[in-house]
Amino acid sequence: MEVRKLLRALVVLVLCVVGMLSGKSTATTFKDCYTKCFIFCMIEPSQTLCSCTTHCLKDCIFQEIQNDVHEDSDNLGFCKLGCAFSMCSAFSSKHKPNGEKVDGCVGSCSNKCTKSYTSP
């Protein structure tokens, strides 16, 4: 049992180091962010489908808007997050994050929220 935990930790560490050394930009698409986050989250035995979906939606949606200088960017982020929780969280399963479906759904939420916050 201890060996499995050590092996998991080693795999995660190696993947993190490889990711840092690859020289890729930290800017990623929502789909890539969500898929990677979800897979790494579900590796943890203490995590559930619900906790991983919630954590990854939150982290990846707010990563997208963190550089937004629009005065309503926080409100826009919370609008997108609320919409994503209610409309998009059911697409992922324990063994399949369905990043493309979640990305499309979150994109739709983003469009709806952006229209709400940019309308006069």
pLDDT at 74: 78
Whole-angstrom CA distances from 16 to 20, 22, 40 are 6, 10, 11
Torsion angles phi and psi, residue 45, rounded to 5: -60, -30
- Model confidence pLDDT, tens digit, residues 69-94: 566 677 888 999 999 999 999 999 99
Chain center to CA of 6: 26
- Band of pLDDT at residue 3, cut at 50, 70 and 90: low
Residue spans per domain, the chain: 28-118
Express each pLDDT in 14-58 by its tens digit: 444 344 434 344 558 999 999 999 999 999 999 999 999 999 999
Q: Give pLDDT, residue 27.
A: 58
What global pTM score does this model have?
Answer: 0.70
pLDDT tens profile 84-120: 999 999 999 999 999 999 999 999 999 999 888 776 6
Higher pLDDT, 97 or 7: 97
Whole-number pLDDT of residue 22: 42
Question: Which pLDDT score, from 0 to 100, does residue 2 have?
Answer: 74
**Dist. CA 26–CA 37, nearest whole Å:** 14
